[in-house]
Amino acid sequence: MPTINQLTIENFRNLTHIVSDFSERFNVCFGVNGSGKTSLLEAIYYLGLGKSFRTAQCARIVQHQHEHCRVIARITGNKTSLVGIERHQNGDRVIKHNGEFQNSMLALTRLIPIQFMSPMSYRFFHDGPKLRRSYLDWALFHVEPSFLDVWQRFQRMLKQRNSALKLQQDLMVWNTALADAATLIDRMRSNLIPLLETNCFQQLQFLLPHFEFTLRYQRGWPQETELLSLLKSHRLRDQQLGYTFYGPQRADVQLFCNAIPVQDILSQGQQKLAAYALHLALGTLLQQTTDVSPVYLIDDLPSELDANSRFKITQTLNSLGAQVFITGIAREDLIDFLPFKQTRLFHVEHGNLA
């Protein structure tokens, strides 16, 4: 499995210059608030996805009074790779894989699958369906080779149809192409759900054993109707809206507990556990289908979780054999349940690791 063996970070938020080796299993970073723990996770996340989990304005990750930041990693697994990403204040981005410039994040994203969890993970159930669609599509990107091509084709057709709607142009050619790509996306998502359910329910039963859960997938248009016929019959309404109403861009997947949406029945701490279960299930599915495990980034693990919940989460992560980066304020809250010989401890202070 690919793991981050060494990481170099320069001018990334309050991390001025860090070069450090990491365990291929558990890496625990502790320190006071503002010390740079979350920035370390953010740097790894940015390396793997080309975006931040904190802000949509990525220029903010560049340290004040510097022109650019840089994250470089040596990845070990079946073979060793050197990858890096550099972000400039003016928005320019430089991506390299084994010394070769890359036009996109594709190579890095495939090489370093990332699963991020934090005290805000409960928002998965509260925020709009876009976040939950990306949850499904992350899995499909990594396990279904044809998904990316189909998804990009659908996005192009959707953009073209929306433009034609605003210009009052003929829609027939876009309707057919859009419906074809949309049907393929729905088929891949629908096929994924049963596989995902098995792992989800296993994790949920372990973390929240006193509840009964169901996972419901809504494809974005009525189940009994073909999308092409809807696109034709709703042309006038779509023109009034200025965009395409039906399609996989409106899909959703929701978790129910005892037939009630989890956000309406579980406490915030329990919702966080449920969200963790979904992320762990996704990583398990990836490992089962590709023999690759994601790198898990867990920010402030002790927050709102009792000792028993922390034990269960670390026990699951240990059984997966994955590389994990965990942060928290107090050392003793983080290490009690971790395998000593496979764990490295880092004290983070003023943007430095020790």
The alpha carbon of residue 21 and the mean position of all alpha carbons in its chain are separated, in whole angstroms, by 24
Alpha helices in 90-128 (DSSP H): 106-111
Q: Taking residues 259-283, what's their average pLDDT?
A: 96
- Residue-wise pLDDT tens digits, 161-196: 999 999 999 899 999 999 999 999 999 999 999 999
pLDDT band at 78 (very low <50, low <70, confident <90, very high): confident
Residue 97's CATH number? 3.40.50.300
Yes or no: say if 301 and 274 are a contact pair by the CB < 8 Å rule.
no
Position 125 in a domain: no
Closest CA to 325 of 299, 351, 354: 299
Which of 237, 256, 290 finishes a domain?
290
Check residue 21 and give its pLDDT: 97
Position 151 in a domain: yes
Which of 245, 275, 290 finishes a domain?
290
Check residue 232 and give its pLDDT: 96
Yes or no: say if 92 and 214 are a contact pair by the CB < 8 Å rule.
no
Check residue 340 and give its pLDDT: 83
Position 124 in a domain: no
The alpha carbon of residue 223 and the mean position of all alpha carbons in its chain are separated, in whole angstroms, by 28
**Domain match, 299 and 222 both:** no
**Domain match, 252 and 193 both:** yes
**Contacts (Cβ under 8 Å, ≥6 apart) of 354:** 346, 347, 348
- Predicted confidence (pLDDT) at residue 203 exceeds the cutoff of 90: yes
Q: Which amino acid is at 237?
A: R
Check residue 136 and give its pLDDT: 97
Check residue 337 and give its pLDDT: 82
Total domain count, the chain: 2
Nearest-angstrom CA–CA distance, 339 and 351: 26
Q: Which two tokens stand for residue 190?
A: 């629908």
CA atoms within 13 A on the CB side of 294: 26
Check residue 92 and give its pLDDT: 92
Q: Taking residues 19-38, what's their average pLDDT?
A: 94
**Domain match, 268 and 138 both:** yes
Residue 154's CATH number? 1.20.1050.90
Q: Name the DSSP letter for residue 63.
A: P
**Domain match, 265 and 222 both:** yes
**Domain match, 338 and 306 both:** yes
**Domain match, 172 and 240 both:** yes
Nearest-angstrom CA–CA distance, 326 and 337: 12
**Domain match, 138 and 268 both:** yes
- Residue-wise pLDDT tens digits, 291-339: 899 999 999 999 889 999 999 999 999 999 999 999 999 888 888 888 8
Check residue 135 and give its pLDDT: 96
**Domain match, 87 and 197 both:** no
Position 121 in a domain: no
In this prediction the pTM is 0.95
**Domain match, 93 and 171 both:** no
Position 44 in a domain: yes
Q: Taking residues 274-302, what's their average pLDDT?
A: 95
Q: What is the mean pLDDT of the chain?
A: 94
- Predicted confidence (pLDDT) at residue 280 exceeds the cutoff of 80: yes
Position 170 in a domain: yes
| pLDDT cut 70: percent of the chain above it | 100
What domain range is 156 assigned to? 131-290
Check residue 177 and give its pLDDT: 96
Position 118 in a domain: no
**Domain match, 279 and 136 both:** yes
Three-class DSSP category at 324:
strand
Q: Taking residues 84-98, what's their average pLDDT?
A: 95
**Domain match, 236 and 301 both:** no
Check residue 240 and give its pLDDT: 95
- Predicted confidence (pLDDT) at residue 1 exceeds the cutoff of 80: no
- Predicted confidence (pLDDT) at residue 354 exceeds the cutoff of 90: no
Position 119 in a domain: no
**Domain match, 195 and 272 both:** yes
- Residue-wise pLDDT tens digits, 102-159: 999 999 999 999 999 999 999 999 999 999 999 999 999 999 999 999 999 999 999 9
Alpha helices in 69-171 (DSSP H): 106-111, 129-143, 147-166
Nearest-angstrom CA–CA distance, 81 and 69: 20
Which of 240, 258, 290 finishes a domain?
290
